[in-house]
Structure 1
Amino acid sequence: MWTRRTLLRTFAAAPASSLLQFPAEAAAPSPAAPSPGAPVDPAYEIGAPLPPEAARDVPRRGRHARPPAAGAPSRVGEGDRITVQAVNTDVPFTFKRYDFEIRELSPGSRPYRLSTPMPVEGWGTVDEHGVRMVNLSGKLYDHPVNQAQYGINLLECYRLTNDVRYLDNAKCQAQRLIDRKVAYGGGWFYPYPFRYALHRVYDIYEPPWYSQMAQGQALSLFVRLYQVTGETAYQEAADRTFATFLVRPVAGKPWGVYVVNNLLWLEEYPNPKAVRGDRTYNGHIFSAWGLWDYWVLTKDERAKLLLQGALTTARDVHLEIRRPQWRSKYCLTHGKDAGTYHTTHITQHLLNHAITGDPAFARISDLYYSDFPVHGVSGQIRFEAGDHTGYKFDAQGRVVASKKIRLSRYSYAPSAERDKVLNQGGVWYNISAGALAGYRVKETPARVFQLGEYAALGYRIDRKGKVIAAPLKAYTIDSAGRMKAVTTTYKVGDMVTVDRRAYLNGVQHLRLASGDYAGRWVGAAAILLTT
């Protein structure tokens, strides 16, 4: 009989999967001692990480709506090294490109989707015109990425509410970008007006300097404003912004696109004096989504080629970006610890999966998910009766304090964060109240675990899987963590579809997306995903 405990033991004993298959967490060896250094500070980078809820927030389909189908999986390294000039003389780069299918998505499924509106009076630092700014040493400066992101979010709020005040404010962000543009090479670049030290310790960027992440997100803003308003000024702005993706890099001139080792990079931090950059992973993908928006509007073959090249890069460098059993790298040039951007990487590949239908991106997302927990997970932790030890660690994971408690019956305590500790195995809860407040306690299924559903990933495209353990139980769970089970009729070898991954009471599960048990959860160890 396959019980939940048996499934957990089976999961732990499973052989390691291929690099693009979801690896069993418990099967991974104890982490080697990585030396990632301090994680990047989101407050200092020019683009904030995606909110953690973006990983789990997936639009609901109507009851009878057919989910988008997955395509055939590509493989890392697969692609055509092409001279794009042979296809279109207006693309002045040679780079590796896999011929991904590029799909349109519904407005409620696109990148940057919001599910609830933000305050209509605005949020964050703005000037007297309501335009998003950054405050540096008491002085306000324009910030192209912030203005573009703010504009996109305001348009999402308009989509949700139809309140024209959001639309008017989005137009203000776009107009500021247009008013400050620098025309070069047929395109409009959006300059940064303040001095910047890359990651605080590397190159000094004297103004003006530029960012292809800003270009890509401004492109998304202009495209979406044109789609909403039909105003040709936004179409022209989109065309001029797209033109910056076709500008050859020249030291000392505005640039943001280049090729490194045959891979096309959309550079978040192009050096203003030399043709080199950070190869920032999240900024590269955000910029690529601007190309996707522009292709949706225009069906421009140049945008598709560049987008396919950018997605090929994102796919092919994912192992270089990865730190097994730890957070991924923020960038390739400096290898900085991604910090909370690790969750952004996970979420971005879920959306790349939706854009292309290629399961390779879903598998990369799963791989990064298995390496380090998604951030922003807090909740109530259940402690079963018995002895429990909490620990405090230094920055290198060395134990600096410990505290043992004995419980005569089960008890609860809140956790502020669920994450890992450097050079320590497993996942840890940061206990924020009670006898072990300020200590970390290791997650142990059936003994120390967070109640309910948490650390969820929502797949934009249903994924197929094969049942590998039966009888298979399917569960429902309520907000208090109470689970109810039914024994399914699935046999080993049967195919199922799933649309969500999450932990339920300390054990990883997948949610069935179709069939008689749709909406119920099954142990992740019992399903081998095939797409």
Structure 2
Amino acid sequence: MEENKHIKLPLGTVSLSPELGSYYIDMRPAKIHYQPNIWGGDFDQNGVPRISFKGELGYFPINIAQYGFMLHAEWLETGNIETLELMKSCLNVLEEIKTENNDHCVWWHNEINYRYNIEPPWASAMAQGELISFYLRMYQILGETDLLNTALKSYEFMRVNVSEGGVRQYSEDLGTWLEEYPSDPPSFVLNGFIYAIFGIYDLYRVTRNELINEDLQRLLNTVKNNLSKFDAGFWSYYDLQKKELVRYYYQKNVHIPQLNVLYQLTNEPVFLKYAEKWERQLTSINYLIVKIMYRVLPRVRKLKKLISF
């Protein structure tokens, strides 16, 4: 089983203070994933992580943002200049690979997403949200207004509908959703949506813009009203399109910490209810069931494809 566990924040430590501090979830336990060759990748000459796309090394925005959160947490504790320089190197790469105009800023993904059958270029609400959070933290360190403006434009792109090449999905059944994977049919991935919300929450904390807050409350209500759909009874689902059980690592280190943070942000009991329920379900027998399913399901899909011919 996975032993890494994100640090839970005590109730009351998440606030509306404009001084952002460290990211909502301590991602440093996942730093082991950034070792060379874990994803077939490495670090460039300036210490920025790269991953492999069909044998070619490239930059992945989410990968860089989350590494930035790890560095930022360390820098807040140590004030180490070398750590700050690494954060600046990450920022420089993100500046190089962004697409920005007068209205929007977006980090395009230029590879095919086979899981949801998405042709490039495509954008991810999770990436946009996490990059907003990283840019705002760098803005507060460096004081460069352009970083704040980029964060605002990144949010404006998050208001663009999936049908128009954006990431915002409207559903009569679910409400307003921000898609980590803007697929057709919609994927409705839970963790990516919540990470996107964290970015918007940060933007409201810094700007106090009431229109952003109205949107934030709308999105929080979507999660609150649909959380039960991700409950498999004994585990949690990754999305609503395929309804696959999440891996043990995701249940423990992503879904549960995210819901704990949402409870701290909102005091909504439903977030605490499922955080505690899914944590109770981190048992050896459930772990074994999930592990078996991940071995069996690919074989079942392969058999179905053979039968279809």
State the alpha-carbon separation in 1 of the partners of residues 186 and 43 from structure 2: 29
Give the SS at the match of 2:233: coil
Could you tell me which residue of structure 2 aligns to residue 315 of structure 1?
224
State the alpha-carbon separation in 1 of the partners of residues 288 and 157 from structure 2: 42
268, 273, 289: which one aligns with 1:422: 289
Larger helix share, 1 or 2: 2
C-alpha change, 1:418 and 1:174, in structure 2 (3 Å) is farther
State the alpha-carbon separation in 2 of the partners of residues 211 and 367 from structure 1: 29
Give the SS at the match of 2:170: strand
C-alpha change, 1:165 and 1:362, in structure 2 (3 Å) is same
Amino acid at match of 1:68: G
- Percent identity between matched residues is 24
Query: For the Cα contact (< 8 Å) 2:64–2:90, is it kept in 1?
Result: yes
Amino acid at match of 1:335: K
RMSD: 3.0
Q: Which runs of 5+ in 2 are unaligned?
A: 37-41, 291-309
Q: Which runs of 5+ in 1 are unaligned?
A: 1-48, 60-66, 71-101, 375-416, 424-531
Residue 336, structure 1, aligned to residue 270, structure 2: no
Could you tell me which residue of structure 2 aligns to residue 225 of structure 1?
138
185, 201, 205: which one aligns with 1:292: 201
Structure of higher CA gyration radius: 1
177, 181, 204: which one aligns with 1:265: 177
Give the alignment's TM-score, normalised by structure 1: 0.48
Query: For the Cα contact (< 8 Å) 2:18–2:206, is it kept in 1?
Result: no
Displacement of 1:188 in angstroms is 0.6
C-alpha change, 1:223 and 1:109, in structure 2 (3 Å) is closer
Give the SS at the match of 1:134: strand
State the alpha-carbon separation in 2 of the partners of residues 316 and 104 from structure 1: 27
Displacement of 1:148 in angstroms is 1.3
Could you tell me which residue of structure 1 aligns to residue 88 of structure 2?
171
Query: For the Cα contact (< 8 Å) 2:111–2:120, is it kept in 1?
Result: yes
Displacement of 1:352 in angstroms is 0.5
C-alpha change, 1:249 and 1:137, in structure 2 (3 Å) is closer
Displacement of 1:422 in angstroms is 3.3
Amino acid at match of 1:422: I
**Structure-to-structure mapping, 1:213-252, within 5 angstroms:** 213-251=126-164
Query: For the Cα contact (< 8 Å) 1:215–1:241, is it kept in 2?
Result: yes
C-alpha change, 1:115 and 1:210, in structure 2 (3 Å) is closer
Give the SS at the match of 2:289: coil
User: For 1:106-161, what per-residue CA distance to the aligned partner results, in whole angstroms no more than 9, with x for missing partners?
Assistant: 75674133688979xx8552222322211134310221111111112211111111
Amino acid at match of 1:111: Y
Larger strand share, 1 or 2: 1
**Structure-to-structure mapping, 1:487-506, within 5 angstroms:** none
**Structure-to-structure mapping, 1:130-529, within 5 angstroms:** 130-183=47-100, 186-198=103-115, 202-203=116-117, 205-251=118-164, 253=165, 255-261=166-172, 263-271=175-183, 276-325=185-234, 327-339=235-247, 340-343=249-252, 344-370=254-280, 372-373=281-282, 419-422=286-289
User: For 1:441-493, what per-residue CA distance to the aligned partner results, in whole angstroms no more than 9, with x for missing partners?
Assistant: xxxxxxxxxxxxxxxxxxxxxxxxxxxxxxxxxxxxxxxxxxxxxxxxxxxxx
